[in-house]
Amino acid sequence: MIKIPTRVLLVDDEQDFVEMLAMRLEEAGEQVTPAYTGQECLEKLASNEIDVVILDIKMPGMDGIQTLQNIKNSYPLVEVILLTGHGTTETAVEGMKLGAFDYLLKPADFEDLTTKLVGARKKKDEQEERIRKAEARLLLRKRGNI
């Protein structure tokens, strides 16, 4: 079976972390776009097709929660996995209430991350399929076929 790569936007202000995780995700067959700030994340979303954002909560400037809110307002089908330190678990739960798919504690286990990545991609694909079916039904109704 051919694996279709998930288009991942990896957002964290720690450059070494982004580079290492991007390399591991690419070795696992994913397509990774790096970003180092919330603002850069939003700019990359505007110019790239992205399935899932892996987003650090603690960043200078626009933090992960503010970035998440902007993502969900402008790109509601893009799924977001939050990365958090032990002290900000409550913030990660708040993020899930705002529409994040899930969260992971840093340092994240790579297997846990890839499992959540698969789940997030599946959820996005299912939402897009439901929208396509609804649009097809609407089109048929407008033509008078239903």
125 in helix, strand or coil? helix
In a domain, 44, yes or no: yes
Q: Which residues, listed in sequence order, are joined to residue 34 by a DSSP beta bridge? A: 10
- Rounded to an integer, what distance in angstroms lies between the CA atom of residue 23 and that of residue 29? 10
In a domain, 1, yes or no: no
What is the domain extent for residue 97?
7-143
Beta strands of the chain (E only): which ranges?
7-11, 31-35, 52-56, 79-84, 102-105
In a domain, 24, yes or no: yes
Q: What is the CATH number of the domain that holds 137?
A: 3.40.50.2300
- What pLDDT was estimated at residue 61? 94
Each of the 146 residues of the chain gets a pLDDT tens digit; together they read 678 999 999 999 999 999 999 999 999 999 999 999 999 999 999 999 999 999 999 999 999 999 999 999 999 999 999 998 766 788 888 999 999 999 999 888 999 999 999 999 999 999 999 999 999 999 988 887 66
What global pTM score does this model have?
0.92
The torsion of the CA quartet 96, 24, 5, 65, rounded to 10 degrees, works out to 20
Closest alpha carbon to 106 in 69, 67, 64: 64
In the chain, how many domains are there?
A: 1
In a domain, 94, yes or no: yes
Question: For 36, phi and psi rounded to 5 degrees?
Answer: -120, 0
In a domain, 2, yes or no: no
In a domain, 96, yes or no: yes
